[in-house]
Amino acid sequence: MRDYPHNAKEHFMNNIFQTLVYQREKKKDTVLATIIWDDGSAPRGKGSQMLVGAEGLLAGTIGGGAVELKSIRLSQELLTGGGSGFIREFRLSQDGELGMACGGDVTVLFSPARLDDTRWDETAAEVLRRVRQRTPGWLV
């Protein structure tokens, strides 16, 4: 059995930001994809995150399935094509883009963590410090 920190949310935050630090040490850009809004039935809720690199999913999850796969592809396009972050809404119904049966909606924020943006180094260090110390905080 895995030795998780205090709770699963701490484990995933720790894993995502440790992976972010590792990727930055390897001089690799990444994208942090975060569900910022959900309505109705959806695989994961607000605050769920995953870290994506050029090779695909690196850490975390926003629910698996079609939403996660499409979000990985959009993240990879952002990494290869450049540009700034963006927000994308996914309708999770049969008539929606992904043809899902969930019936809800999720909105995902795609935040590129490029090497030239040193704020990510400070952010990752602060998140990891807060997880270790079990200090509440907000990632905005």
Given this model, what pLDDT does residue 13 score? Answer: 64
Given this model, what pLDDT does residue 126 score? Answer: 94
Q: Which residue has the higher pLDDT, 35 or 139?
A: 35
Given this model, what pLDDT does residue 5 score? Answer: 44
d(C-alpha 119, C-alpha 62), whole Å: 23
d(C-alpha 117, C-alpha 96), whole Å: 35
Cα Rg of the chain, angstroms: 15
Residues 75/110, Cβ–Cβ less than 8 Å: yes
- C-alpha triplet 58, 64, 70: angle, nearest 5°: 80
d(C-alpha 39, C-alpha 45), whole Å: 9
